[in-house]
Structure 1
Amino acid sequence: MAIELTILMPCLNEAETLATCIRKARGFLDRAGIAGEVLVADNGSTDGSREIAVREGARVVPVSQRGYGSALQGGIDAAAGQYVIMGDADDSYDFDNLSPFVEELRNGNDLVMGNRFRGGIEAGAMPFLHRYLGNPVLSFLGRLFFRVPAGDFHCGLRGFSRDRIRALNLTTTGMEFASEMVVRAALAQYRIAEVPTTLRPDG
Structure 2
Amino acid sequence: MVDVILPCLNEAEALPWVLSRLPAGYRAIVADNGSTDGSALIAAEYGARVVTVPRRGFGAAAHAGLEASSADVVCFLDADATLDPRQLPRVVNPVLAGTSDLVLGRRRPVSAAAWPLHARWGNAVLAHRLRRRCGVSLRDLGPMRAARRVDLLGLGLADRRFGYPLEMVVAAATAGWRVEEIDVDYLPRAEGSRSKVTGTWLGTVRAVRDMSRVLSG
What TM-score comes out, normalization by structure 2 length? 0.82
Deviation at 1:129, TM superposition (A): 4.1
User: Residues 15-72 of structure 1, C-alpha deviation per residue, up to 9 Å, x if partnerless?
Assistant: 11111111111xx12xxxx3x3111011111211111011111111111111100000
Aligned in 2, Cα 1:193/1:107: closer, same or farther, shift over 3 Å? Answer: farther
Aligned length: 189
Q: Per the alignment, in what secondary structure is the counterpart of residue 173 of structure 1?
A: coil
Identify which of structures 1 and 2 has the higher relative contact order when contacts are C-alpha pairs closer than 8 Å and 6+ apart.
Answer: 1
SS at the partner of 1:98? helix
Superposition RMSD in Å: 1.4
Q: Identify the residue that residue 212 of structure 2 maps to in structure 1.
A: none
**Corresponding letter in the other structure for 1:128:** L
Per mean C-alpha deviation after superposition, the further-off stretch among 120-129 and 160-169 is 120-129
Summarize the alignment of residues 103-118 of structure 1 with structure 2, pairs less than 5 Å apart: 103-108=93-98, 109-116=100-107
Question: Which whole-Å CA distance do the structure 2 matches of 1:174 and 1:10 have between them?
Answer: 12
Mapped partners of 1:65, 1:138: distance in 2: 26
Matched, 1:10 2:7: yes
Q: Map 1:1-203 to 2 at 5 A.
A: 4-25=1-22, 28-29=23-24, 34=25, 36-108=26-98, 109-116=100-107, 119-131=108-120, 133-152=121-140, 154-203=141-190
Percent of pairs with identical residues = 37
Question: Are 1:37 and 1:81, in contact at CA under 8 Å, matched by a contact in 2?
Answer: no
Aligned-residue offset at 1:135: 2.4
Cα distance, 1:196 vs structure 2 = 0.6
Residue segments in structure 2 that go unaligned for 5+ positions in a row: 191-217
Letter in 1 for 2:189: D
Letter aligned with residue 175 of structure 2:
A
Could you tell me which runs of 5 or more consecutive residues in structure 1 were left unpaired when the two chains were aligned: none
What letter corresponds to residue 182 of structure 2 in structure 1? V
Between the aligned partners of 2:125 and 2:188, the Cα distance in structure 1 is 22
Quote how far apart the aligned CAs of 1:122 are. Answer: 2.3
**How far apart in 2 are the matches of 1:63 and 1:17?**
19
